[in-house]
Structure 1
């Protein structure tokens, strides 16, 4: 299994009473698939899983799994512990997005051993979420290749905050049957130009078609891809001007796509001026990019 294309890490919308707005989540899931998403991600960081109850997490996964089953697309679910992984239903879930252990900084050998342990018990393949500016643990290209060799590890969501030497080395000679999916929206275009298979992109909640077109264009028309990237980058920059997914939710609410812009603590809603700046960036997109 090699995942490719744009996979949308869905936000979790809340209604005016603070409950998960499942009807709105269903509409959003259908909308992003209609606009060209290759798959969906439930309970990623963008979905605020840490602030959901266990019952709410189950309801979100069940709903999104139903959409994916109906539409014939893969579902990835955020699950980073043995307990969360063994609870996944492989008839519903294609892959699990598992974060490099945060805070403890176990070293690269510890990270590889950790994922070998998780992969051995997981009922679905793992995508390693490599995000060192949150976890505190850098992974060299050697460690990434060691992870790619672990049975049951299918790829990496690569979000290192830019294009570093290890990223260059990884994509210069990518491991076979190992998906490299960009996770930093602002630099997804150079990653794709270097050979990344796709991305897991929060910005694609807002303008899915533009990012789906970007992936396709890097395979077929690099000049068009550069133009698309230049148009999309200011929007991604604006959507991440406050903690994710606060601005994304503010924009989706302003567009009438979710009932409220509410987030749960420890997040606070994005400031109105931050949302207005993102909406202005969206308005500046050329029509084909905006979808």
Structure 2
């Protein structure tokens, strides 16, 4: 499976009663695919899966999987437990799973975790390395060990910038491993270093411009400013506020522990 282009980790919209707005979710899925996205991520961290109950998670997955099947778009499913991965639709191209957070198991523990996860997953695995959230730093050597695991097809790389580990990894990337940008504001420089695409929440907005950036590799500085504005507060609060302001979802609501975006952040994002 080839992973390239823009993949949008969809938010979970809520209606005025607090329930999941499945109709709005379906429209949003079609909208970003109309904008040129290569695929969708269901139940990624942007979708607030930890705040959803089992029935809601199943409903969200059913909607997004149905759109991907109808549109022949690639479906990636967020799954941070092997039990989650076992239930992914048969047409999913991968599961996206975090480097184990909080526990700080060390590089050997992380590699062992991905060996076990990949061995039991029914579909290929994308490893999600985001050390400023998980707390677990990894060297380029450890990332290459993960890349060498049978069943690991790619990596969402969100190191919080371009450090020596990122430079080391991308200067000699593992063969047959898709390294996708997961840092929205650093998309352009990572594209210049050879990544084939991205999993970025900012592409809910101006999807066509983000896909053009990935395909044409021509600088679009406004998109970096937009990404910074959309991440001025915890994701996906500002994205939801903008989508609601533009009439694309029924409310800007998020669930605890998140709080709605401030008026100032909304104004800034709308002005970019």
Q: TM-score, normalised by structure 2?
A: 0.98
Q: Does 1:175 align with 2:174?
A: yes
**1:27 maps to 2:18:** no
How much does 1:2 deviate? 2.7
Q: Does 1:72 align with 2:72?
A: yes
Structure 1 residue ranges, 4+ long, deviating more than 2 angstroms after superposition:
none
Determine the structure 2 residue equivalent to 1:142. 141
Task: Give CA-to-partner distance per residue, 1:137-156, whole Å, 9 cap, x none.
Answer: 11111111111110100111
Any residues of structure 2 matched to 1:194-273 within 5 Å, and which? 194-218=193-217, 225-226=218-219, 228=220, 230-273=221-264
Q: Is the 8 A contact 1:2 1:178 kept in 2?
A: no
- What is the SS of the residue equivalent to 1:180? strand
Task: Please name the residue that 1:88 is paired with.
Answer: 88
**What is aligned with 1:59?**
59
Distance (Å, rounded) in 2 between the aligned partners of 1:24 and 1:100? 31
Can you give the 5+ residue segments of structure 2 that lack an aligned partner in the other structure? none
CA RMSD in angstroms, aligned pairs only:
0.8
- Measured against aligned partners, the alpha-carbon deviations of 1:96-148 in whole angstroms (never above 9, x if no partner) come to 01000001111111101100000000001110010000111111111111111
Return the offset for 1:92.
3.2
User: SS of the residue aligned with 1:269?
Assistant: coil
Partner of 1:286: none
Alpha-carbon distance between aligned partners in 2 of 1:69 and 1:82, rounded to the nearest angstrom:
23
Q: Runs of 5+ in structure 1 lacking a partner? A: 219-224, 282-291
1:38 correspondence with 2:38: yes
State whether structure 2 residue 132 is matched by structure 1 residue 133.
yes
Aligned residue pairs, count: 272
- C-alpha separation in 2, matches of 1:256 and 1:110: 45
1:87, distance to aligned residue in structure 2 (A)? 2.0
